[in-house]
């Protein structure tokens, strides 16, 4: 009786684990279109089934789902209602991990080596969960705009953002060095709202606290700002962290430190920021060697954007060329057509 019930527990939890993995696998495949992640998850699912295949007979004999008291409990409560795809992913990773832990414990009574194998699969799921979070945290490709009121010919940041969005920009970063903090916060709140309404990705430069306050999609920091690992501790697992880099060494370090994307530049000389330009070689390095999204930035104009886009960066950022344009919307449209 006891041993049959042990197999019943193992059977239910193997199914639970594989179902949980299947859910995240399908989201990786059909929503994030990430074939690699889907295939790793599938690999773990198959390896669990394969290593427990010889138990099939015992598992089937023990199965008795009609008598399972859990079915009634599950049908009659709404605890598993979910509001977002992220919550579904999170719950299904946990479900798979907990189920494998139960299988592992039960197998300690009957097959210690197999229990250790299942433990290995559980650890793989923990690693994949971390990678999954990283995969989710990626900025949209395309044109990345940054505010810059001093170039905007009397227009304020909010007007500029509205125009950039009308032109079809994919990402907006709020960067403002000169205003009092209180004024910046009001502006950021408004821009956050506009970006959300228009489904445009929103990043706050420098201010981790304000990024958290307005629930921005991301925060951007520089080489001399707070270290990425500390920023991550503050912002949690969902917010994107971008880091400026100016050399291959900084780019490689940024990846190791867990940046979600990097700024690569200034490629050409610029008066918007007081940093020496690094040239196109660094952009070429990034294209060939950097696996996380990266944004080419610095001195990019309509007349030289071809030199950038042929090197195939993930995204391109122009500041003064966009906010300084007489017609911001039309300029964004022309840049998008050019890239
Ligand atoms: C996309 C992007 N890349 C680089 C920067 C520059 O950031 P940082 O080095 O922190 O300098 P400031 O912008 O704060 O002057 C950026 N903001 N965005
Ligand atoms: C913020 C920043 N970081 C590197 S270059 C730069 C400014 C780029 O501005 P512009 O597009 O006007 O040269
Ligand atoms: Mg900064």
Closest ligand relative to 265 C-alpha: 2
DSSP 25-77: HHIIIIIS--HHHHHHHHHHHHHHHHHTGGGHHHHHHH--GGG-HHHHHHHT-
Residue 2 has pLDDT above 60, yes or no: no
Q: What is the mean pLDDT of residues 5-25?
A: 95
Q: Is the CB of 320 under 6 A from ligand 2?
A: yes
Give me the residue label for tokens 């209602």: 81
Catalytic residue among 122, 137, 184, 244: 244
Q: What is the mean pLDDT of residues 135-156?
A: 93
Q: CA-CA distance, 189 to 210, in Å (whole number)? A: 9
Burial pattern 229-238, b for ≥16 Cβ within 10 A else e, equals: eebbeebeee
Mean pLDDT, the chain, rounded, equals 93
Residue 193 has pLDDT above 80, yes or no: yes
Residue 175 annotated as catalytic: yes
Q: What is the mean pLDDT of residues 295-302?
A: 98
**CATH classification of 142-338 is 3.30.70.940, yes or no?**
no
- CA 183 and chain centroid, separation: 30
Q: Is the CB of 264 under 6 A from ligand 2?
A: no
Residue 130 annotated as catalytic: no
pLDDT at 163: 98
Encode pLDDT of 194-228 as tens digits: 999 999 999 999 999 999 999 999 999 999 999 99
Angle CA(36)–CA(42)–CA(43) in degrees, nearest 5?
90
Encode pLDDT of 129-141 as tens digits: 988 887 888 899 9
Residue 275 has pLDDT above 70, yes or no: yes
Q: What is the mean pLDDT of residues 48-58?
A: 91
Question: To the nearest whole percent, how much of the chain has pLDDT over 90?
Answer: 82
Residue 189 has pLDDT above 70, yes or no: yes
Q: Which of 279, 315, 317 to mutate to test the pocket of ligand 2 (most atoms within 8 A of CB)?
A: 317
Q: According to CATH, where is 1.20.1260 located in the chain?
A: 2-136
Give residue 271 CA to ligand 1 midpoint distance, Å. Answer: 13
Residue 33 has pLDDT above 80, yes or no: no
Q: According to CATH, where is 3.20.20.70 located in the chain?
A: 142-338
Residue 244 annotated as catalytic: yes
- For 36, 66, 216, the CA distances from 187, given in Å and listed in that order, are 40, 59, 13
Cis ω for the linkage preceding 134 (within 30 of 0): no
| Residues in the annotated binding site | 173-177, 205-206, 225, 244, 270-273, 299, 319-320
For atom 8 of ligand 2, which residue has the closest CA? Answer: 298
* Alpha-helical regions (H) of 198-324: 208-213, 228-235, 248-257, 280-289, 305-309, 320-323
Question: To the nearest whole percent, how much of the chain has pLDDT over 70?
Answer: 93
Catalytic residue among 8, 45, 137, 175: 175
Q: Is the CB of 270 under 6 A from ligand 2?
A: yes
**CATH classification of 2-136 is 1.20.1260, yes or no?**
yes
Cβ proximity of 260 and 139 under 8 Å = yes
What secondary structure letter does DSSP report for 140? P
pLDDT at 226: 97
């Amino acid at each position: 009786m006891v041993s049959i019930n042990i197999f019943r527990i193992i059977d239910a939890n193997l199914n639970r684990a594989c179902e949980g993995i299947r859910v995240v696998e399908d989201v990786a495949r059909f929503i994030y279109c990430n074939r690699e992640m889907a295939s790793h998850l599938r690999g773990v699912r198959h390896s669990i089934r394969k290593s427990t295949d010889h138990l099939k007979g015992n598992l089937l004999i023990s199965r008795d789902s009609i008598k399972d008291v859990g079915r009634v409990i599950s049908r009659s409560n709404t605890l598993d209602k979910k509001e977002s795809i992220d919550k579904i992913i999170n719950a299904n990773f946990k479900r798979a991990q907990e189920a494998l832990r139960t299988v592992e414990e039960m197998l300690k009574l009957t097959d210690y080596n197999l229990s250790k194998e299942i433990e290995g699969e559980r650890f793989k799921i923990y690693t994949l969960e971390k990678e999954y979070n990283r995969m989710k945290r990626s900025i949209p490709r395309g044109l990345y705009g940054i505010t810059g009121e001093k170039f905007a010919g009397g227009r304020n940041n909010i007007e500029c953002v509205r125009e950039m969005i009308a032109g079809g920009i994919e990402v907006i970063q709020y960067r403002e060095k000169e205003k009092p903090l209180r004024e910046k916060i009001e502006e950021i709140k408004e821009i956050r709202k506009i970006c959300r309404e228009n489904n445009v990705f929103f990043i706050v430069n420098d201010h981790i606290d304000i990024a958290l306050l307005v629930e921005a999609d991301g925060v951007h920091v520089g080489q001399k700002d707070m270290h990425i690992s500390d920023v991550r501790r503050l912002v949690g697992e969902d917010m994107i962290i971008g880091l400026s880099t100016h050399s291959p060494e900084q780019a490689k370090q940024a990846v190791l430190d867990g940046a979600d994307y990097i700024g690569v530049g200034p490629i050409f000389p610029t008066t918007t920021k007081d940093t020496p330009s690094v040239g196109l070689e660094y952009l070429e390095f990034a294209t060939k060697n950097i696996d996380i999204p990266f944004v080419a930035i610095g001195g990019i104009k309509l007349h030289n954007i071809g030199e950038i886009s042929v090197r195939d960066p993930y995204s391109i950022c122009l500041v003064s060329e966009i906010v300084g344009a007489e017609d911001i919307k039309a300029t964004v449209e022309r840049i998008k057509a050019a890239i």
